[in-house]
Structure 1
Amino acid sequence: MRKRLTVAGAALLTLLAAVFAFVQPAHAATGFSVANGRLYDAGGVEFVMRGVNHAHTWYPQQTSSFANVKALGANTVRVVLSSGDRWTKNSAADVSNVISLCKANRLICVLEVHDTTGYGEQSGAITLDRAVDYWLSIAGALNGQEKYVIVNIGNEPYGNQGYATWATDNANAIKRLRAGGIAHTIMVDAPNWGQDWSFTMRDNAATVFNADPARNTVFSIHMYGVFDTAAEITDYLGRFRSAGLPIVVGEFGFNHSDGNPDEDTILSYSQANRIGWLGWSWSGNGGGVEYLDMATSFNPAQLTSWGQRIFNGANGIRATAREASVYSGSTPTPPTPTPTTPPPTTPPAGGCTASYTIVNQWQGGFQGEVKVTAGSAAITGWTTRWTFANGQTVSQSWNAALSNSGASYTARNVDYNGRLGAGASTSFGFVAGWNGTNAAPAVTCTAS
């Protein structure tokens, strides 16, 4: 169970951006690489993480979780491992099995050592140097897997004390990993329980990046209570983008005991700026943060409201995830089903439009999808309506509150997908039956 975050206090945002200068390498041919602040997979295609964290080290029997998160659309899973210092050690054989599960389910594995969490403040936490010992001890399981694995040296490696050595310690850890033959993209977490309220990672990221002989390091910020406003989120992530340094949101929640993060801005800004993210967490939380479970008791058929938001909400996994090209052998492109009605015209200001698509059809049944798009002004809710002309009947729906009176159907937003920015879209789906003819109805949309 993940330790509850502690935050010394909100810090004022500095007005001066750090100045970063570095030279980017050419794309590596063997695995992931970094160039111009972007992450590229082994096929040379830009890769944007869209996935979740999975507490494997505490729930090693939950191996079906890999297939379940993939089925919900994820392209990445961040896997909690232990060096054996605080919890049962994940052996090289176990790590090999985890990588195999990721590959079998066409997922990218971000592997992290959790024993570093809160070093300097949390009893029993280990140093980054000790985490490197673990990675080198299981190098046999990692070598040759550079196309599929990113090595996250240590989770939240400092609490709110003793973090002044963050840059030096990470630089030394990276150098040791490279000297030990670890050629993977390396991910480093921020101090301050991952939230960097002191801006230690932000202001020293270039130094750490340049310490990597391979120039193949990605930075990870965890966003909980410190990031409870849009300004804080966009300022922090924006400075990395402006500096040309790679940044991902390695953990975040929709709520937390130390404050309420602005998850809508995390998702929308990340999507607009092609920044990767990994929500916390699939299932199994304890210690007072059980509400951060996305699935109840690891059951993908019982998504919580947080799980629905991450997987099915606006800018969520289903809408934005793209599989790594290493699994397809070509540049991944989103599916583009042929619409059965013309695309919507430009929505009016303050209003919305909706389009209807038959995603899949079989004898006697079909899967439909309705896409809702806000006009030139933000909306806080929406209602769509249509009438089937051929006796179609809906048996199951998701991402909307659906009701009907005979052939006339009404679908309203649910709590996590009603607010849409100007021009933003969301979608909901359903399974229905048909017989003889399956003509697409006209759909209207009303905003609130």
Structure 2
Amino acid sequence: MSTRFGAAAAALLSLLLTMLIAPASPAQAAAGLRVDGTRIVEANGNAFVIRGVSHAHTWYTSQTGAFAHIKALRANTVRVVLSGGRWPANGTSDVANVVSLCRQNRLICVLENHDTTGYGEQSGAYTLDQAVDYWNSVKSALTGTEDFIIVNIGNEPYGNNNVSAWTDATIDAITRMRGLGFQHLLMVDAPNWGQDWQFTMRDNAQRVADADPQGNTVFSIHMYGVFDTAAEITAYLDAFRTAGLPLVIGEFGHNHSDGDPDEDTIMAQAQARGIGYIGWSWSGNGGGVEYLDMVDDFDPASLTSWGERIFNGANGIGQTSREATFFSGGTSDTTVPTTPGTPSASGVTATGATLTWAASTDAGGSGLAGYDVYREQGDDDTLLGQSATNSITLTGLTPGTEYEVYVRARDGAGNQSAASPATTFTTEPGGGNGDGGCTAEGTVQTQWSDGYVVQPVTVTNDGDSGITGWTVTFTLPAGHTPAGSWNASLSVSGQTVTARNAAYNGTLAPGGSTGFGFQVNRPSGDTATVSSFTCAAS
């Protein structure tokens, strides 16, 4: 309808038809999640602060395990990428399955239509009116989900062209959604590829909010290179607080092609102000922004440096996320699980160990969700792994290294127990270059002022028998961070990086070799590179 009459005419025609069919009635109060001033609250009035990440479901529909893995890292929200046809379409049955996964994993889900990304500047982008058509096509999958589903009408619905049209187009979209019977909390993204550098959303937000008959729309700003200083971040957040309007940071990263966002200030200010944030993104990025992956190849045990930052860093998800009370029957569970028993180490090898401990119990009502295993390292303890049971097999450890570890239990509401007593074990030696059945040598292929590429890192089986896997460890100079890899997955602990073979290149006959590569970001003007590699075979 919008392609023939235009968005405004379509909205007017829809309104007139509604008036002819049914008598006028008072605006219906918002159901489920709703706006209360600058806050989002649940149906029981309990404040809910979004702490989550985006998951690119439309391109990776088979990766449904991501919902449980994101929850296990203590997120309370996942933003799910959907498409109505610009990319592989997600129909009613697929959306219904996503909704089921959200509820099953006790996650608030922000469902977003990605088709609108960059409209007016990017070829093939959909209008917001077309996005509403999509939501109407899958409406049956969303009926009765207002307590845990937020509808993000369209992702980054304008690029940098004709941005002034954003306000009316957004108002028309909200009006149509309400006319179609959607009672959900609605989320609207800013133009300028979500970054609102022309302040169109900021300056017209009140008008948009007033157009929602339920008064239940939250605004979403995406913070990338435009928000590279604390002053820019705080000024934007201040504007919405002064206006008394609700705002979430619907996307942000630690780095981007358009600049270096100040993620520390973004997260600290969000926590201080009670503002929600959603990091981009779980895994599967391409096109040169692979560094925005939080885990390698959808593997929750292989956190990238960005994943470590957002989940385990200061003001991160692990520290600040609280589960929606909807999932615990409308009451807030603040009871921590009992303390786990002292872990016992067995099966220690050069790169791994198995830990077991006495199980915890939970009396808070939300149920025991799992355990987090940490390595003690002063004020910066490292999360080594997570398990749903009272046992875990750790991999990718550094040969010949002492590990002091402890365990915390975690319930469904995100409460953590006290730390268990620590236990200490030392991995077997044999990880030296050439001592563990393999060697690794790397070459800096190319470099520039603030980065370099190491390729290939050649892994050779110099033993007398075949190997079925390998790990290569190396230490990056201070200030250097991995920015992507190929033919191996990377995990990071401080400046120590562990590269593990992919599924297809771990098996090497005696004398056989394979290779992988990686990119590193470094401070501008720094000329240091990594040159020493340690290999261990399995």
- Normalised to the residue count of structure 2, the TM-score between the two structures is 0.61
**Distance in 2 between residues matched to 1:268 and 1:294, nearest whole Å:** 19
Shift of 1:30: 3.2
Residue 423 of structure 1 is matched in structure 2 by: none
Residue 422 of structure 1 is matched in structure 2 by: none
2:134 matches 1:134: yes
Q: Which amino acid aligns with 2:219?
A: F
SS at match of 2:341: strand
Shift of 1:303: 0.6
The answer to whether the Cα contact below 8 Å between 1:156 and 1:193 also exists between their aligned partners in 2 is yes
2:340 matches 1:360: yes
The answer to whether the Cα contact below 8 Å between 2:54 and 2:280 also exists between their aligned partners in 1 is yes
The answer to whether the Cα contact below 8 Å between 2:109 and 2:149 also exists between their aligned partners in 1 is yes
Q: How does 1:196-215 map to 2 (within 5 A)?
A: 196-215=196-215
**Distance in 2 between residues matched to 1:101 and 1:383, nearest whole Å:** 33
Q: Which amino acid aligns with 2:114?
A: H
The answer to whether the Cα contact below 8 Å between 1:368 and 1:429 also exists between their aligned partners in 2 is no
1:162/1:246 Cα in 2 relative to 1: closer, same or farther (>3 Å)?
Answer: same
What is the aligned length? 351
Residue 33 of structure 1 is matched in structure 2 by: 34
Q: Which amino acid aligns with 2:317?
A: I
Residue 151 of structure 1 is matched in structure 2 by: 151
1:328/1:198 Cα in 2 relative to 1: closer, same or farther (>3 Å)?
Answer: same
1:27/1:334 Cα in 2 relative to 1: closer, same or farther (>3 Å)?
Answer: farther
Residue 248 of structure 1 is matched in structure 2 by: 248
* Unpaired runs of at least 5, structure 1: 1-24, 339-358, 373-380, 385-394, 412-427, 435-448
**Distance in 2 between residues matched to 1:397 and 1:242, nearest whole Å:** 50
1:332/1:129 Cα in 2 relative to 1: closer, same or farther (>3 Å)?
Answer: same
1:383/1:141 Cα in 2 relative to 1: closer, same or farther (>3 Å)?
Answer: closer
- Greater Cα offset, 38-47 or 305-314: 38-47
Shift of 1:283: 0.2
Residue 81 of structure 2 is matched in structure 1 by: 80
The answer to whether the Cα contact below 8 Å between 1:92 and 1:141 also exists between their aligned partners in 2 is yes
Residue 70 of structure 1 is matched in structure 2 by: 71
Q: How does 1:50-129 map to 2 (within 5 A)?
A: 50-84=51-85, 86-129=86-129
**Distance in 1 between residues matched to 2:77 and 2:193, nearest whole Å:** 22
Q: Which amino acid aligns with 1:89?
A: A
- Greater Cα offset, 142-151 or 98-107: 142-151
1:49/1:383 Cα in 2 relative to 1: closer, same or farther (>3 Å)?
Answer: closer
1:271/1:335 Cα in 2 relative to 1: closer, same or farther (>3 Å)?
Answer: farther
Q: Which amino acid aligns with 2:239?
A: R
Which whole-Å deviations, capped at 9, do the CAs of 1:148-175 have from their partners, x for residues lacking one? 1000000000001111011111011000
Shift of 1:220: 0.3
Give me the identity figure in percent: 61
SS at match of 1:361: coil
Residue 425 of structure 1 is matched in structure 2 by: none
SS at match of 1:112: strand
**Distance in 1 between residues matched to 2:380 and 2:42, nearest whole Å:** 40
1:208/1:361 Cα in 2 relative to 1: closer, same or farther (>3 Å)?
Answer: same
Residue 329 of structure 2 is matched in structure 1 by: 329
Shift of 1:29: 6.9
**Distance in 2 between residues matched to 1:235 and 1:363, nearest whole Å:** 48
**Distance in 2 between residues matched to 1:316 and 1:28, nearest whole Å:** 34
Shift of 1:433: 3.7
**Distance in 1 between residues matched to 2:58 and 2:288, nearest whole Å:** 19
2:181 matches 1:181: yes
Residue 235 of structure 2 is matched in structure 1 by: 235
**Distance in 2 between residues matched to 1:334 and 1:315, nearest whole Å:** 19
1:330/1:397 Cα in 2 relative to 1: closer, same or farther (>3 Å)?
Answer: farther
Q: Which amino acid aligns with 1:295?
A: V
Which whole-Å deviations, capped at 9, do the CAs of 1:71-90 have from their partners, x for residues lacking one? 11010000000011x11211
The answer to whether the Cα contact below 8 Å between 2:29 and 2:214 also exists between their aligned partners in 1 is no
**Distance in 2 between residues matched to 1:248 and 1:53, nearest whole Å:** 14
Q: Which amino acid aligns with 1:270?
A: A
Q: Which amino acid aligns with 2:236?
A: Y
**Distance in 1 between residues matched to 2:33 and 2:236, nearest whole Å:** 24
**Distance in 2 between residues matched to 1:48 and 1:172, nearest whole Å:** 28
* Unpaired runs of at least 5, structure 2: 1-25, 345-356, 359-371, 382-392, 407-417, 425-538
**Distance in 1 between residues matched to 2:59 and 2:140, nearest whole Å:** 23
**Distance in 2 between residues matched to 1:29 and 1:173, nearest whole Å:** 17
